[in-house]
Amino acid sequence: MENTRTKLIESCLLLNEAKKKKVDKLPLTPAERDKVKSLFGDNLGCSFFKTSDGKYYCTTHRARGKFYDNIEDVPKKEVDFISSTS
């Protein structure tokens, strides 16, 4: 029973550590910001960032979208949903 309890505690600690990891929040270049504006408009309720490995995502303080290789790959439906959480 002690072995099971130890495994449970270890898995809970690992899960908590995974939740604490933050995603890179690198700002977009002016050209990338212009591309976001042309695709999704000026009045967005969310922000766009990229990770250190070049993936793009949209986010608010409550939600974050999936990661995409290109800004063009981010679906308008996802941007609208993430914007609705602000």
Q: At what angle do helices 76-84 and 30-40 cross, to 10 degrees?
A: 90
Q: Is 12 a domain residue?
A: no
Beta bridge partners of 71: none
The model's pTM is 0.73
**Residue 4 falls inside a structural domain:** no
Q: Is residue 16 one of the residues assigned to a domain?
A: no
Range of the domain at 54: 24-84
Is residue 50 assigned to a domain? yes
pLDDT in tens, 9-19: 665 555 555 45
Phi and psi at residue 47, in whole multiples of 5°?
A: -115, 150
Measured distance CA(67)–CA(15) in Å, rounded: 21
Task: Determine contact, residues 24/65, Cβ cutoff 8 Å.
Answer: no
Contact 78, 39 (CB under 8 A): no
Quote the number of domains for the chain: 1
Residue 37 lies in a domain: yes
38-81 pLDDT, tens per residue?
999 988 999 999 999 999 999 999 999 999 999 999 999 999 99
Q: How far apart are CA 48 and CA 44, in angstroms?
A: 10
> Is 8 among the domain residues?
no
Domain membership of residue 32 (yes or no) is yes
